[in-house]
Amino acid sequence: MNIKLLNKNISDIKSDVTVEFLTTNELAKNSNLEILNLAGFKAEQDSVCFLHEKAILVCGIDSKTNDDIRSASANMIKTLKKANYTSAKISIISEDSLQGLVEGIVLGAYEYNEYKSQIKEISLKKIFITSNSLDFDTLEENFNSALIVANATCFTRDIVNTTPQDLNPPSFAKLALKLAYENSLDCKILGESELENEKMESMLAVGRASIHDSKLIHLAYRPKNPKKIISLVGKGLTYDSGGLSLKPATSMVTMKMDKAGGCAVLGMIKAVSELKLDIEVHVFVGAVENMIGGDAYKPDDVLVSRSGTTIEVRNTDAEGRLVLADVLSYAQDTVKADYIFDFATLTGACMVALGSYTTGVMGNSKILKHDFLKAGKKSGELVATLPFNKHLKKLLKSEIADISNVASKPYGGAITAGMFLDNFIEDENKDKWLHFDIAGSAYTESPWDCNVHGGTGAGVRFMIHYLKSL
């Protein structure tokens, strides 16, 4: 689908359909009020009414904010895709709402059809977004930026949605190499022999029973004279069976999404490089498959992490933190970053605490957490903080090793997982690091807002908003 921004009056553009966004107050003054009343249209948020005889699609909104425009635009594009029109035109409501409009169209129109034997042909080919009353140069800059971020989010969704027989650690590494080539990034891949040399026993143990070698991916975007250096670390569990602490059968379905943290950081560096931000970004992904077999790591094992901290394994399904422990250690020794952010589908407990729409933010810096609450609000992604506390930290105590990989009590599981990772953050980096648990927000089986079934690309939009603010 081709989306164009035009510096024209909407009446001067030829298209099959005109899209109008109306609030309840505007509905009362609309020239088509009588027909809309007959159709029962009340301009409620996300409602639509197609006046086919007039070639007008009317969309209800509660307000003209980015969030309401994004959600309404997603419903609008789904409605247009069901019809047989080839083009549509939309007049920009305000400069501030352009981001929501573009993201709603691109993300709402997203489909993942890689495994469909027959793909339904969509008639809609062109969307014209128009304005001749606003500063067009600013509009064009904001339009291009929104399009890059939305496409990077869809790129992330594609990787999340790829099945485990097609995306395993080696093929994940090949995908990273392809991205590096296309976007002029530096790329380094560590195989199992290099991981052994780095003494990454914790990460290697998780992937030991898989037929696929574990990989550590390091991508770098290096502009001249960067204002900041950022390290982004992603959990890349291409499939998680739970290991010997085997998941129930129903819980294994959708576990292709356990790589969403690694996918998200790839989407972030893609967007950063295409936006040409003057920030140096390093991405580190621990690509591993957690399987069962005669060589699988076991509950009661004690692993020696790269940092030298010993870990008692009490549950092999708490594997993501074992991978991240080593990758965070490697990232800190490899790059002296101003900030370190890790993304992981780490705990079901985060969904219990915050619901399935919200990313959990954890760390030691109140300032950083506050900054990301603002970035989340501006981007339209939902984020909320979960607080560390000394009492939960005690639950990670091990009698035979330095730390246990799960808490001794089942409560506060998202926080104890974050506090486990905090043990592998060096003292000098404590206030430079945040952990993002995207277990709930990274994947959905019920469409909501601009998200369709499958991967959502969680994290990409709010991270780019944050990086641009630097």
Asked if 256 is an active-site residue, the reply is no
**8 Å CB contact between 415 and 394:** no
**8 Å CB contact between 306 and 198:** yes
Q: Of these residues, 215, 306, 321, 461, which one is catalytic?
A: 321
Asked if 321 is an active-site residue, the reply is yes
Q: How far apart are CA 209 and CA 201, in angstroms?
A: 14
Instruction: Say whether pLDDT at 95 is over 90.
Output: no
pLDDT digits (tens, 9 = 90+) for 70-88: 999 999 999 999 999 999 9
pLDDT digits (tens, 9 = 90+) for 301-312: 999 999 999 999
Average pLDDT over residues 103-125: 96
CA dihedral for 81, 85, 87, 92, sign (positive or negative): negative
Q: Of these residues, 247, 314, 378, 393, which one is catalytic?
A: 247
Tokens (6 digits) for 410: 């089942």
Instruction: Say whether pLDDT at 93 is over 90.
Output: no
- pLDDT for the residue 133: 83
Average pLDDT over residues 97-101: 96
Average pLDDT over residues 281-305: 98
Q: How far is CA 113 from CA 15, 121, 236, 256, 454, in A?
A: 28, 11, 23, 16, 11
Q: How far apart are CA 185 and CA 274, in angstroms?
A: 11
- pLDDT for the residue 352: 97
- pLDDT for the residue 189: 98
pLDDT digits (tens, 9 = 90+) for 374-424: 999 999 999 999 999 999 999 999 999 999 999 999 999 999 999 999 999
Domains observed in the chain: 2-134 (3.40.220.10), 151-469 (3.40.630.10)
Which of the four pLDDT bands, split at 50, 70 and 90, describes residue 94?
confident
pLDDT digits (tens, 9 = 90+) for 23-60: 999 999 999 999 999 999 999 999 999 999 999 999 99
- pLDDT for the residue 444: 98
- Average pLDDT of the residues of the chain: 97
Q: In what order do the strands lie in the sheet with 48-51?
A: 2-6, 126-130, 87-91, 17-22, 56-60, 48-51
On the 0-12 / 13-18 / 19+ scale of CB atoms within 10 A, 44 is exposed
pLDDT digits (tens, 9 = 90+) for 4-19: 999 999 999 999 999 9
- pLDDT for the residue 71: 97
pLDDT digits (tens, 9 = 90+) for 327-355: 999 999 999 999 999 999 999 999 999 99
